[in-house]
Structure 1
Amino acid sequence: TTSTSTFIYNKTYAAVGTYTVTLRAISSTGCVSYATQTVTVTPSASAAFSYTPNSCSSKAVVFSSAASVSASTYYWTFGDGQTSTLANPTHTYAADGNYSVTLRINNTSTSAPQTVAVVSNPVVGAISRSVTACSNLYTFTNTSTGSTLTYAWTFSGGTGATSVTNTATRSYASSGTQTVDLVVTAAGRCSTSATQMSFTAASAATGVTAAVVVSASNPCNTTRTINNTGSVGASSYRVKLDGGAYVTKSTFPYDTTGLTVGTHTLKLVATNGTCYDTTTTTFVIGSVTAAYTSASSTCGTSVTFTNTSTSTSGTPTYAWNFNSGEGTSTSTSPTFAFATSGTKTVSLTATLANGCSTTVTKSNITANSGTGPVAGFTWSMVTGGVCNTGIRFTSTSTGATSYTWNYGDGTVSIPSSTSTIFHSYASTGSFLATLTASSGAGCSSITTATVVVTATGYPKPESSFSTATATQCVTGNRFDFFNRTTYNGAGWVPNYYWEFGDGTHNYTNTHVYGKTYAAAGTYQVRLVGVSNYGCKDTSYMNVVVQAVGSCTPGMIRGSIDDKNSSGGSLDAASSNTAATGLTTVSNDISDQVILYPNPNTGDFKLGLKDVQSQSVNIVIVDMLGREVYEHTYVLNGRKEIDLYDMNLSAGTYNLVLRGSDEAVARKSFAVVK
């Protein structure tokens, strides 16, 4: 590089080396003069060192700073509190150990620390021995000192063992002169041999073996027989039961009586005066009583057995014998199908782990000859638009009154008396469909089949509804319509459209409460359910409002009479079928339900008097007809229901209570804030 400046400041060089600097001066008359000077760029100072480990006979370590760069001064710290300013010192440590050493040069650069291990020959101690007379087991111990010692033991005959501890054991089959050699090594590199031990091994004393057997002539009682069968070489025995005091025993076998239920621990000590041995065993006192009840199926020869056995200790195992070997089982409570109907003999044996066993036999078990339903179905792929593409299932079952379908795609239908059902699938492929066909007697049968879906579609709602009173007098008529629409598959039913046959409608509420008609007549009520995909389904019912002069006493319970199974638009023509299955009942139970306090702050109670329903559904509607609360309560004999935390605003509300037996109560109340 060059420059035309008179003076040069802060010139830098990129690399270490020697450089010649030349200055050329030119006068105004053209005279030229040269001057040269050499400059040297040295490396930056960097501290590093190496060392030569100490020998096993010395603790002196030789250090070298040759790896340092541009060093002019040195400062060593040896990790033991000592220092040095020499370039290449030799340092002698006072004791074995690991030391962290650093070097600092020019008072600017410090090396990375290195751990220096100082190891010297161990100080070897003598070998001592002890012997267990009854087993002729010798224990050898060494007291050497040093850093991280390992021990290499060599016994007579060249056998040996290496250990990180200072002890070793050895047994000798016979008496005679034996030798023991030991090499002690410190930190894996400095070794010293101990003085060889030579001694005469003595013959072992006669050993003792303790053994105990606990038995029982009747495992179900509280007496046990104790015997020392298997004990060898003992002249006396001591026995301890359940942590009590030792008792000397000279006669075996002997009986222990009056033992409590539970687990007991028995310890036996056998001795010959010099040697001894100890053994411990546990045993269980407990009894079992075999017992069972049975329930015969009305659907066939199957009988369900309920195990009612009792045990005072532990869990029994069970062995069932059905009709003298017709079948067996080890289940706790099995169900068994006999080959024929009739009266059968069944035995149950219950056995505890302690051997206690009892058997109960009954010869009056009835296997019925009735038969249950036999499930079967066919299916077909239907393609007809997004809301009408899927599988149509048709039950071919016999003896069934109710059908439940598992479509194999994660959705299951509710039980229905309809033998044909349609289901849309969200994806194509093969699905394992299952039909459970049930009879009115509670019998069921299951069958499966693989259906092949070749096109996807959206499921339709299954529109349906009911009312507790399908026929009422024109005076004071008040109809409640309960939406029972179901939906199987992905999606939901966000919209319901009610039309009441008198020109009025409700397109807002899921359920309708308190619908009134102004004149006598027969009115067809229609409910259309529309899914979030736009798929529709419609159901119908006729309700009757009787004129004052012809009004039938009492109230009439109604059921759904018909349904537009093909769905259709909101404006589709209505079916004109009449209501069927009407039974005269009195199901207004308003006078049997008390709402208190009234008015209230939004928390109140319902008192139930002689309400026979197993469960009740409670709906609260505001004065705009909006449903603000709905919940089903299982009564199980309850006479009172607490309603709270409903966040009701101030105002007037109507409460409708509908029982599982279709009984209905209506109450009005006010909320005051």
Structure 2
Amino acid sequence: MKFFVQQIAVLFFLGLIALSCQEEIPIPEADFSLAISKSEASFTNLSHNADSYAWDFGDGAGSNEQSPKHIYKVPGNYTVTLKALGAGGESSKQQSLVIHKANTKAAFSYKLQDAGNVQLVNESLEAESFVWKIPELSISFVSKDTTIKFEYNGDYTIKLEAKGFGAVDSTKQQITILSGKDYPPVPDFSFEDKGGGKYKFNNLSKNATSYYWVFGDNIGKSTEENPEYVFPENGQYKVKMEVTGKGGIATKDTVINVTSSFTYYIYTLENKTSYSIFAYNNIPEHLMTILPKLSYLQGKKIRLEQNRKMALYLFSGMMKI
């Protein structure tokens, strides 16, 4: 009987111990701290009584590491949740954080060197990638610092675009190249038919400082930039343009088919003897120098008529004009 009582006591004591042990299993306490550097957040796990963890970084990504790091792709406000799990159950904790965009500032300086070379020194702040552009050359390139060779002298615009986390900034500067070569002149022109054989020439040349025109009728020439010229009669004329610039001399010619010239007839009022000249809307200057030399017309009154059949000779004396 005594032995039986002792066994009961031992079992009761062991039960108390087991019950006591069950009551001592602690519940996990989730806790963490965080530090932010630009777009990266570092998490330090401060949880207690846990042996596994589940992180939710608030942007759709997560982790099961104890103390993870995470890079956010977009600036913004995020809520981070840590769930701590252990034998005693689970608990969770949330913290809010803000990922700021970079304070990106694009900046650069340049150094002019010999033979058209320019060293570009990137001085941008809080930027991760760069794009350089030179509109006049229709080029762009990606690099931090670089050296560019400009073949020809002139004014150029250099643009720099700097990209940082969630931010973009740009800047530009004008530079003048004097150590390269001069651009060769490029002759070009268009023309307008003004009627009556009169044409207006529009100069479209580049890199030129002086111009010389030959209108293809063995008479007309000009050094004007945008001349006007009246062709003496209908026909095809090869108009030649010669341009001169620091980079040399160049020419261009174009054939013009003139169909709108006028022919004027001059004859004396006394005897109606007539002759024709080639003209436009007024008597050409070179004919005004010829008329006084025609003895037949000296002292005569004359008048002009337009659009009669054209003749090439003076009918009295068969003198060519």
Tell me the TM-score range normalised by the shorter chain. Answer: under 0.3
* Structure of higher RCO (CA pairs closer than 8 Å, 6+ residues apart): 2
Give the structure-1-normalised TM-score: 0.16
Q: Which has the higher helix share?
A: 2
